[in-house]
């Protein structure tokens, strides 16, 4: 996004180049701090990447490695937030004359929506991580199991954790949407529909977090099941856009197109299993298996 997005909208660079560099260093040093836990005497954090309370408190996970992991991820998250601010500002304010929002390349749309998701969910993760560190170091009781803290942690973590899946995926949807028209030698089929589907995916992604929490018994199963089923609809629309672009095109299967075709197949099967697992009866049987 740093390289391609300004080129695609005719901008000389991102809006705040120095902020961009700061965001990169925060990401780099935050990630390094998290990884340095492996070099501490007690070893790295051993509570898994979900950090479920009370497993992640000072009693069950003592040691510096856990603290390094918590603060390193928080620091890295600040880098993501600053990068997202930069990308949104660039796309909104620095497009070439005549390039309206609905003339933007699809990759740029995906970067914009990814950045918006980052702004929505990374502050929640940062707040949760700081509260967890306060529990560990200062004896606060935010995530005590006695007052429902274990479930509170899951809500905060998964409100970040599920949109994070789309933060990872949407840029690649954008890349795929650039590769397919090139190697099909056709413009993208249904541009407006594809953009609408992408916006719908981004919007729905913040409504489904508790499908990771069915077995806790503390969430409204019909709502989160329905919303998870619903997110398959815009995803299916995107597939028809991609297949429609390839249909009767002059296809050539160079390396990028081979990777993209593999992505389509993998994602179809992944999506089908997602719909199956969104059904609470299946989830109850398969969770923790």
DSSP per position, 70-107:
HHHHHHHHHHHHHHHHHHHHHHHH-PPTT--GGGS-HH
Measured CA to CA, the distance from residue 172 to residue 155 in angstroms comes to: 27
pLDDT of residue 245: 97
pTM of the shown model: 0.94
pLDDT of the residue at 288: 81
Q: What is the pLDDT of residue 149?
A: 92
**pLDDT of the residue at 289:** 78
Classify domain 4-286 at the CATH topology level.
Cytochrome C Oxidase; Chain A (1.20.210)
Alpha-carbon distance 145 to 148, whole Å?
Answer: 5
At 48 the pLDDT is: 86
Sequence ranges of the domains in the chain: 4-286
**What is the structure's pLDDT at 49?**
84
CB 45 within 8 A of CB 80: no
Counting as low any pLDDT under 50, the low residues of the chain are none
């Amino acid at each position: 996004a740093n390289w391609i997005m300004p080129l695609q909208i005719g901008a000389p660079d991102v809006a705040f180049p120095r902020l961009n560099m700061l965001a990169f260093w925060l990401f780099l040093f935050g990630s390094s701090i998290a990884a340095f836990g492996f070099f501490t005497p007690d070893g790295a954090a051993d509570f898994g990447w979900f950090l479920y309370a009370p497993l992640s408190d000072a009693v069950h996970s003592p040691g510096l490695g856990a603290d390094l992991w918590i603060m390193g991820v928080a620091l890295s998250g600040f880098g993501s937030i600053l990068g997202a601010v930069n990308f949104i500002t660039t796309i909104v304010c620095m497009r070439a004359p005549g390039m309206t929002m609905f003339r933007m390349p699809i990759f740029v749309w995906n970067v914009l929506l990814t950045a918006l998701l980052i702004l929505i969910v990374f502050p929640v993760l940062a707040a949760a991580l700081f509260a967890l560190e306060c529990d560990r170091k200062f004896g606060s009781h935010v995530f005590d199991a006695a007052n429902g803290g274990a479930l509170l942690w899951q809500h905060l973590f998964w409100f970040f954790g599920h949109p994070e899946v789309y933060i990872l995926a949407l840029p690649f949807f954008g890349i795929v949407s650039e590769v397919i028209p090139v190697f099909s030698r056709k413009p993208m089929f249904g541009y407006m529909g594809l953009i609408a589907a992408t916006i719908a995916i981004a919007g729905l992604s913040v409504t489904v977090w508790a499908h990771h929490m069915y077995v806790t018994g503390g969430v409204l199963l019909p709502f989160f099941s329905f919303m998870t089923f619903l997110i398959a609809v815009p995803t299916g629309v995107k597939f028809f856009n991609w297949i429609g672009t390839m249909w009767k095109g002059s296809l050539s299967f160079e390396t990028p197109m081979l990777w993209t075709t593999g992505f389509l197949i993998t994602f179809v099967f992944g999506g089908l299993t997602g719909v199956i697992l969104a059904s609470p009866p299946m989830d109850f049987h398969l969770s923790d298996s």
